[in-house]
Structures are given as structure tokens and as C-alpha cells.
Homo-oligomer: A and B are copies of this chain.
Amino acid sequence: MDNIYYLGPDGSNSHNAMLKFMDLNITEIKNKIPQKSIKSTLEALEKDENSVAVLPIENSIEGIVRETIDNILKLKDKDIKIQGELTIPIKHILLSTGTDRTKIKKIISHPQALSQCSEFLYKNYRHAELKEVSSTSYAAEKVSKENDDTLAAIANEACAQLFNLNVLANDINDEKDNKTRFYILSRHSLITKANGKTAIILSTKNKPGALCDVLKIFAQYDINLTYIDSRPSKKCLGEYMFFMELDCLENDIKVKNALDKLNEYVNFIRVLGSFFIYN
């Protein structure tokens, strides 16, 4: 494989997920290429036959990453499939160029990171100024450049190393079980293990109980849904598509049978990928 694309900049959680994937994956990949957005990561993958992309799909606090689903649906090349998933822990830490945590007067980070550490901030830095910036790695870079020991960033361990910053406080998330799940996308299959999932998107017929009929079919074939989410059809308010993950592979006979049966009940169905879990 030639290239791997991910949501940059370096030090981002997607960058960490990409590094974990490179550790676990056996195929050699030559270049690591950061991208500016989820959209541009998938566009790069689409233009490059022999490549892989790593994108966040779900965080345990914030929920599904809609931009990833919506942009996967826009892919013109239907040979690009979800080929794997992996999960990394999200640990926020407080970083500064100084070492005295009582000196801090201003803290910068991505709005989600600030919000996920609000109890810590309220308890320890009630009077500090909080400022939102576009990413946690940008916050760490800014703190490193400004070299002002009253300024701190909330970011991750990778950023501490990358920007040579001191850790003033570790593991400052309010919720300790903060994790993000990533999809690995490619035209080529990557690993084969026993433990697999299938991701699909479908739109039900517009009649009462239509979603219930769909779920009954999965129950009937003993297929467990591990995720369900509604996305707007983008045609009119109140018309939805459903994104679902099933706990088995597409080539499992029960999935084949359920998908056949489903055709009677849905307007549209598409398998986005059948994939294994790197963990």
C-alpha cells in the first residue's frame, strides 16, 4: 500500500489512531499524509487507488461523528469499504512551558476538550480565562510558541512530546471512560480475524412501524445491532435514513438471508463495509 491519510495535524487523536493502526497492521504503508478535514481525507482516498484512510466514527461522550457517515455516503467509488475499526482511549492532560501549576491564568483548547474537563477546570482554575481554538494539537503548538508560563493547553500525551511541553496535570477528563472509535477505509481488505461487524445504511418505507419491521428481521435471524442512528434524508424534514452496525460479517449466511428479506421492507439499502476489529 502506498499512502495512509488521516485527519491532522500531528498530535491529533486521529494521528494517534493512525500510529496504532500502523503498529497492528502487517501490510507495509509508505507515506503518512495528514489532511485538513474529514471530507478532504476521503477525497484523497478516492483519488489514490492504493491507499488507506483513518477517520473517527464515534466518541463515548459526544456520540457518532456525523461528518464521517455523511461523507462516506458521498463517495462515488463504491469499491471503497470500511475494512477495519480500532478504538483508542482519550486522555486529556494540562500542558505548559512552565512547571508551576498555580501560575496558570489562561487555558486554551478545542471546545469539546474544555467541556470534557469542566469539573477539573471549575475545581482548580475557576478564575482562569478559557479560550476555544480549532484543535487540541493547535492549542499545544500555540502554548509552545508563546513560551508564557501563565498559559496552558488541554491536549494529549503525544502533544506533550511533539511540542516539548511539561505535564501540569494528568488524566483530567470528568468522565474517565472517554474513548474514540475509528474506521479504517480502503479498496483493499486488510485483516481477517473471527470478530467482525457489518455497517449498513437504509431508508425504510414511509409507513408506521417500518423501523420495527426492519429490527424484527434482524432479531428473527439472531443478528445483534451494536449501533443505530438516524440521519436526515436531506430531502424533507421527517424523512430519515438509518445507519446501523451488525455484530457479524456480511458473508455470514444469516446476514445474507436477512439482507435478502429486508429488500421487501426498505426503499434503499447499502452495505458500507464488513470489517474486523483491531484491538
Contacts and interface: CB of A to CB of B under 8 A. Distances in A.
Given A216-B216, A219-B208, A228-B211, A234 B66 contact: no
Contact of A215 (B58, B60, B215): B215
Interface string A111-150: 0000000000000000000000000000000000000000
B212 A60 contact: no
A75 interface: no
B226 A229 contact: no
Interface stretch (A76-84, A175-183, A256-264): A175-183
Contacts of A215: 209, 211-212, 215
A269 B229 CA distance: 19
Interface in A46-63: 58-63
Nearest to A174: B234
A224 interface: yes
- DSSP class of A's interface residues: helix, strand, loop or mixed? mixed
A129 to B, nearest CB: 16
A87 interface: yes
Interface residues of A, number: 37
Total identical chains: 2
Contacts of A222: 208
A209 B219 CA distance: 6
Given A61-B232, A63-B232, A238 B226 contact: yes
Interface string A208-240: 110110011011001011111111101111101
A179 to B, nearest CB: 5
Point out which of A61, A179, A181, A227 has the most chain B C-beta atoms below 10 A from its C-beta: A61
10 contacts: A60-B234, A61-B232, A62-B66, A62-B232, A63-B231, A175-B235, A208-B224, A211-B215, A215-B215, A216-B216
Given A63-B230, A177-B237, A211-B228, 15 more contacts: A60-B236, A60-B237, A63-B231, A209-B219, A211-B225, A212-B212, A212-B215, A212-B216, A216-B216, A226-B238, A227-B230, A227-B240, A228-B228, A228-B230, A229-B229
